[in-house]
């Protein structure tokens, strides 16, 4: 029986290099899915906290403050879900580990964390309890929350189709725009609801003034967000920021933003989400105004 001879100064490698690279590659694919799982966990926790707060509202009395904390925890959990949603996509793109299973799993996580969780939260914290004495209003409130989830699901389905669409080969066809989203992203819609609840976690029913008016305004907001998600308005994706180059100013800006969120989370988070939504609406208005002169010139040229 003969044994392989080792050359002088060369150690025996028990594991081939290709096997190590293969195992490392598999580990890279697991990391985005881990953040997606954390996204689902945060959404599930938000639902459980909302249900707990809704039960405490039914008890009333001294339990109102505990219910306030539960709703605040539910809103914060949606914020953590948004952070995990950002990280899993960014890591998948940076490591080139994007898969079709990951895209579908990410959409399932989003429908839980930014569809079901905000819809149940705004119902229990807001108009579902504040307008319970109004005739047939609770049914309308339930329907609005349901339509929010449906519109969010349609928004995610459209995004998956656009993400998996092959590159068009025919000349003159419009390519998929990766710098912007078509329709308001459902994470932003869910985070806007969560930011409002985090800003004022006390249920609207116990607001010191104009509780019913605030509840009606929240119903209008949910209807508006539902319409924006299925609209054709374009919102900036920010996917190209910080990719492919080192930007010290970006890093410093992110650190400063994180510090502001830590110190003044109620104000900063609400301002950021509202600014993003308003920016998308204003961009559409400005682009429409910019096209009108060009269209008028084209009509004059045709008439001549």
Q: What is the DSSP string of 77-109?
A: HHHHHHHHHHHHHHHHHHTT---HHHHHHHHHH
- Distance in angstroms (rounded) separating the CA atoms of residues 163 and 248: 31
pLDDT at 284: 75
| Residue 78 vs residue 285, higher pLDDT | 78
Mean pLDDT of 139-143: 89
* pLDDT > 70 in the chain, percent: 76
Confidence band, pLDDT 50/70/90 cuts, at residue 24: very low
Question: Quick check: 28 pLDDT over 70?
Answer: no
| φ and ψ of 181, to 5 deg | -100, 145
> 3-state DSSP call for residue 133?
coil
Side-chain-side CA neighbours of 1 within 13 Å: the count stands at: 0
| φ and ψ of 65, to 5 deg | -65, -35
pLDDT at 27: 55
pLDDT at 234: 86
Question: Quick check: 140 pLDDT over 70?
Answer: yes
Give per-residue pLDDT as tens, 237-276: 776 565 555 567 778 888 898 899 989 999 999 999 999 9
- Distance in angstroms (rounded) separating the CA atoms of residues 53 and 294: 55
Mean pLDDT of 1-29: 52
Cα dihedral across residues 113, 119, 120, 122: positive or negative: positive
pLDDT at 304: 40
Confidence band, pLDDT 50/70/90 cuts, at residue 173: very low
Q: ∠295-300-304 over CA atoms, to 5°?
A: 150
Give per-residue pLDDT as tens, 207-241: 888 888 999 999 999 999 999 999 988 888 776 56
Does this model's pTM top 0.85? My answer is: no
Q: Which of 34, 38, 56 lies closest to 46 in space, CA to CA? A: 38
pLDDT at 227: 94
Average pLDDT across the chain, whole number: 80
- Distance in angstroms (rounded) separating the CA atoms of residues 34 and 75: 22
């Amino acid at each position: 029986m003969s044994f392989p001879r080792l050359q002088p100064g060369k150690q025996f490698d028990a594991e081939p290099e290709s096997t190590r690279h293969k195992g490392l590659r598999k580990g890279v694919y697991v990391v985005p899915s881990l953040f997606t799982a954390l996204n689902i966990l945060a959404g599930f926790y938000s639902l459980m906290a909302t249900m707990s707060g809704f039960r405490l509202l039914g008890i009333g009395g001294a339990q109102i403050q505990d219910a306030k904390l539960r709703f605040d925890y539910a809103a914060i959990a949606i914020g953590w879900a948004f952070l995990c949603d950002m990280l899993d996509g960014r890591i998948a793109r940076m490591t080139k580990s994007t898969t079709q299973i990951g895209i579908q799993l990410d959409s399932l996580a989003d429908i839980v964390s930014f569809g079901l969780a905000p819809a149940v939260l705004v119902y229990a914290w807001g108009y579902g309890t504040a307008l319970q004495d109004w005739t047939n209003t609770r049914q309308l409130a339930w329907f609005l929350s349901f339509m929010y989830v449906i519109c969010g699901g349609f928004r995610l389905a459209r995004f998956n189709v656009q993400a998996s669409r092959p590159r068009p080969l025919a000349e003159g066809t419009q390519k998929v725009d990766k710098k912007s989203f078509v329709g308001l992203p459902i994470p932003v819609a869910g985070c806007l609801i969560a930011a409002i609840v985090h800003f004022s976690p006390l249920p609207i029913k116990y607001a010191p003034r104009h509780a019913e008016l605030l509840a009606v305004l929240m119903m209008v907001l949910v209807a508006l967000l539902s319409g924006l998600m299925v609209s054709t308005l374009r919102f900036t994706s920010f996917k190209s920021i910080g990719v492919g180059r080192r930007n010290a100013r970006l890093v410093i800006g992110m650190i400063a933003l994180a510090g502001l969120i830590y110190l003044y989370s109620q104000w900063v988070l609400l301002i950021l989400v509202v600014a993003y939504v308003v920016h998308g609406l204003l961009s559409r208005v400005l682009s429409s105004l910019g096209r009108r002169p060009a269209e008028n010139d084209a009509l004059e040229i045709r008439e001549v």
